[in-house]
Amino acid sequence: MVDAAAALARARAAVAAVEDPEIPALTIDDLGVLRDIAIDAHGVTVTITPTYSGCPAMAVIAWEIEAALARAGFSRSRVVQVLSPAWTTDWLSEAGRRKLTDYGIAPPVRAAGRRALFGEEHPACPRCGSGSTELISAFGSTACKALHRCLACREPFDAFKCH
């Protein structure tokens, strides 16, 4: 008889290690996209929430989840996307925030309000740590990031958009 708790832990470890294809420094667990994992007679069901509806990375993430589960010995799996509650940058783990900074992307301000939505809050530069930054473009290298510039070291950098 298979130990259900051990099987669930094995499935969780496999899925939690799946990397975000747009920011490979982060796992889907770091990002807060991984919502739930359940095992029943039909196999493993993984519930994920996209960072925004229509995120093109979700199809790749779903495929990577199924592949990770297959490598971990789970032959039957399915991935379910839920849009409610909507993902928020507050779901980023502390480890994920550190990884973003190390990768050169400014993590969003926690519990950001309307000021962040209208570009009135300026993220700290991930290179030098200065809070003296400016928005260059609301559109960064991916739809979930904006392009900023540090006024201290003059380097451009991506910053995660708050939502």
Could you read off the pLDDT of 63-96 as tens digits, one per residue?
999 999 999 999 999 999 999 999 988 899 999 9
Tell me the backbone φ, ψ of residue 158, rounded to 5 degrees.
-80, 150
Task: Indicate the Cα dihedral angle 53, 57, 58, 60, nearest 10°.
Answer: 160
Nearest Cα residue to 4 out of 46, 36, 38? 38
Q: What pTM does this model have? A: 0.84
How far is it, in rounded angstroms, from Cα 14 to Cα 7? 11
How far is it, in rounded angstroms, from Cα 156 to Cα 163? 22
Q: What is the pLDDT of residue 111?
A: 60
Tell me the backbone φ, ψ of residue 68, rounded to 5 degrees.
-65, -40
Could you read off the pLDDT of 1-26 as tens digits, one per residue?
469 899 999 999 999 999 999 899 99
Could you read off the pLDDT of 129-163 as tens digits, one per residue?
999 999 999 888 888 889 999 999 999 999 988 76
The DSSP element (H or E) to which 10 belongs, if any, is: helix 4-16
How far is it, in rounded angstroms, from Cα 8 to Cα 19? 19
How far is it, in rounded angstroms, from Cα 51 to Cα 58? 9
Looking at the predicted structure, is the pLDDT value of residue 49 above 50? yes
Least confident of 90-94, 102-106, 108-112: 108-112
Looking at the predicted structure, is the pLDDT value of residue 98 above 90? yes
Q: What is the pLDDT of residue 1?
A: 45
Question: What domains lie within the chain, and their CATH numbers?
Answer: 4-81 (3.30.300.130), 90-160 (no CATH)
The side-by-side arrangement of strands in the sheet containing 43-48 is 34-40, 43-48, 77-81
Q: Residues 24-35: what's their mean pLDDT?
A: 95
Looking at the predicted structure, is the pLDDT value of residue 32 above 90? yes
Nearest Cα residue to 127 out of 110, 96, 148, 143? 148
